[in-house]
Amino acid sequence: MDAVEQLTPEFGQRVQELRNLLQRASYEYYVLDAPTMADAVYDQLYRELQTLERRFPELITSDSPTQRVGEHPVSQFGSVQHKVPLYSLENAFGNDELVAWEQRWRRVAPAIAQPSYVCELKIDGNALALTYENGVLVRGATRGDGTTGEDITQNVRAIRSVPLRLSLEHPPAIVEVRGEAFLPLKSFEQINRDREQAGDALFANPRNATAGTLRQLDSKIVAQRNLDFFAYTLHLPEAPLVPPLQTQWEALDYLQQLGFRVNPERALCPTIDAVQAYCDRWSIERSHLGYLTDGVVVKLNSFKLQTQLGFTQKFPRWAIALKYPAEEAPTLLEHISVNVGRTGAITPVAELRPVQLAGTTVSRATLHNRDRITELDCRIGDTVIVRKAGEIIPEVVRVLPELRPKNAPPYHMPTHCPECGEPVVKPDGEAVTRCINSACPAIVRGALTHWASRDALDINGVGEKLVLQLVDHGFIHSVADLYHLTVEQLLTLERMGTKSAEKTIRAIQDSKAQPWSKVLYGLGIRHVGSVNAQTLAQAFPSVNELVDATPEAIAAVHGFGSEIAQSVHQWFQNHGNRGVIDRLRQAGVQLEGERPLAVETKAAIVGKIWVVTGTLPTLKRDEVKAMIQTAGGKVTDSVSKKTDYVVVGEEAGSKLTKAQRLGIPLLSEADFLRLLASSD
């Protein structure tokens, strides 16, 4: 039997020494771009560390340079609830909108004389949230929807410019760093060359390649692709620094001290004019960068002023993203097709000769509607100018008639639906042409896909590909038919095995337990989004009450108007829709919500405007909102001078700050329940 090798203090000291040397070398190479250690020396020290860790596995720690890449792929990514939401930014398109933003925030904080601004290039990548405990990386998560992301820690560890251990002798107990993962252009081009040689599909642009890389189940692939990372903000949820950071500029410097790359092109600007000059400069010079940027993020430098300004429902008031004008490109219009959406809207689409546009390959672009085609006078064979609306949706903006082929006939929208053959209509007051046949396969497909989506019934496994097969095989004619599907029917579809079929049927049956508000959203009524559906479900706790409701009763719901009310009323008066409701009821789908035990008006609450914020000890915010509405109060999402009370829980954030500044009464959950119980 081999003798067990004795671990001595000398071995432990050498391991720590090697880690410090390698970490410093990585920082100089990947962050400072100023290497001092030769590659051969780095490789020799790395192999020595590997050897010692193999001999003494008890010395291996998660922050060791040898542990960047996981040995085994993960099977899936878990969900992560962000303690501090990752807010998106309001966009500005041009200097006029930048000035308008400054005027808006000054109306909220008029006493501020001359603030400074921090400008940072807006990197075209994917936002990440990194959590460090006692200086060691413990979690890396995607932005997701801003509240919930995916845990991709193993992949984040494979990004060389992300430190596994912070470069501080006494780091904060917990710090969360936000930043952008991205692919340098050289890495992106090399990846596509490799994929082309392997016969794989090419990535359309660096952002898509970054997103695809971060979602790889094998971190070894991530390590090979050379992702990079710029940090741009941090949060200290527990003990703040002493002395505290007071500005965004100080925070960026501190991030560098921690060992992160911070964009070197950032600037501290004393005036909005200086901000404009910075933005104008980089609109030209960005073409020389080694990565893609589509604008500039402008932030008020003072953290105190940021706190004072707070947030709107969607955006921080103290920051804005100035987006550069959409890139335009000429190409050939080869064909015009039409798409039929789930509401029957018929949208003409330009089929184009592929062209590079703002970092992506574009082969299709929207033509919006019949009026837009007439205005542009688009004809097949035309040379057209294409751009990306808001850097997202390609659209045709103009035609070059001087390059038009001879005798090219004008294009006419179809008079009949290309999916079902029924006549199409153009309702009065609308620009959109519609198919109104509820049995149209395109409408049925769209309705089913919407019904199964995450914000609706959230049926795992029922996506667009399966829906397409179900409709084409004639198994499904409405959402109610889903609940009568059988395993035997699914087994007749392509690439559907017994286990998958059983799992899909189980997911469909489980969706019957989804609450009435999600069912209401899933019905796909025009103008009824997920928020409106929740409000309607509270005001009308059963489908029968909504069927019997007049347009006036629906319009009386807080936040609704006559257009939404008419849309809801007409939907429930339709004979076919009522038939779907009856079949959903027979299948056991939830068509009623929870009702309060007693409906009564409380004098201290009736007519008052309330805001509920933060995490409450025992009640959910929706429960408190329902109690307020039942008692005759009104609930809004934002704090204003008109707000009467704010119910406050843990981590209340900017709404609490604004309420304090405006002097609005604050109630805890216990205070609210006492007021509710004692008021007559």
User: Which residue numbers belong to the known binding site?
Assistant: 39-43, 88-89, 120, 143, 180, 299, 323, 417, 420, 440
Q: Which SS3 state, helix, strand or coil, does residue 122 take?
A: strand
Q: How far is CA 111 from CA 105, 106, 115, 270, 299, in A?
A: 11, 8, 11, 17, 18
Rounded Cα gap, residues 344 and 364, in angstroms: 20
* β-sheet with 174-182: strand ranges across: 136-142, 126-133, 174-182, 228-235
Element (H, E) at 11: helix 9-26
Query: Which residue carries 């079949």 as its tokens?
Result: 583
Chain centroid offset of residue 303 CA: 25
Nearest to 294 by CA among 391, 182, 360, 208: 391
Q: Long-range contacts of range 591-600, CB-CB < 8 Å, 24 or more positions apart?
A: 591/516, 591/519, 591/542, 591/543, 592/516, 592/541, 592/542, 592/543, 593/515, 593/516, 593/517, 593/537, 593/538, 593/541, 593/542, 594/541, 595/541, 596/626, 596/627, 596/630, 599/630, 600/630, 600/631
How open is the CA angle 403-407-410, to the nearest 5 degrees?
90
- One DSSP character per residue, 70-98 reads -SS--S-PPEEE-SS------EE-SHHHH
- In this structure, are strands 174-182 and 228-235 parallel, antiparallel, or unpaired? antiparallel
CA end-to-end span of the chain: 84
Report which DSSP code applies to 571: H
Rounded Cα gap, residues 604 and 671, in angstroms: 13
Q: 406 catalytic, yes or no? A: no
Cβ-based neighbour number of residue 173 at 10 Å = 12
E-only strand ranges, 114-191: 117-123, 126-133, 136-142, 148-150, 174-182
How open is the CA angle 99-100-102, to the nearest 5 degrees?
65
Buried b (16+ CB within 10 A) or exposed e, 32-59: eeeeeeeeeebeebbeebeebbeebeeb
Write out the two tokens for 172.
Answer: 């904060």
Rounded Cα gap, residues 672 and 666, in angstroms: 9
Rounded Cα gap, residues 411 and 566, in angstroms: 34
Rounded Cα gap, residues 186 and 290, in angstroms: 7
Residues making up the binding site for Zn(2+): 417, 420, 440
Rounded Cα gap, residues 64 and 216, in angstroms: 22
Q: Among residues 122, 388, 518, 655, which one is catalytic?
A: 122
Residue 386 in contact with residue 328, Cβ under 8 Å? yes
Longest dimension (CA), the chain: 92
Residues making up the binding site for NAD(+): 39-43, 88-89, 120, 143, 180, 299, 323
Q: Which residues contact 573 (CB under 8 A, 6 or more apart)?
A: none
Catalytic residues: 122
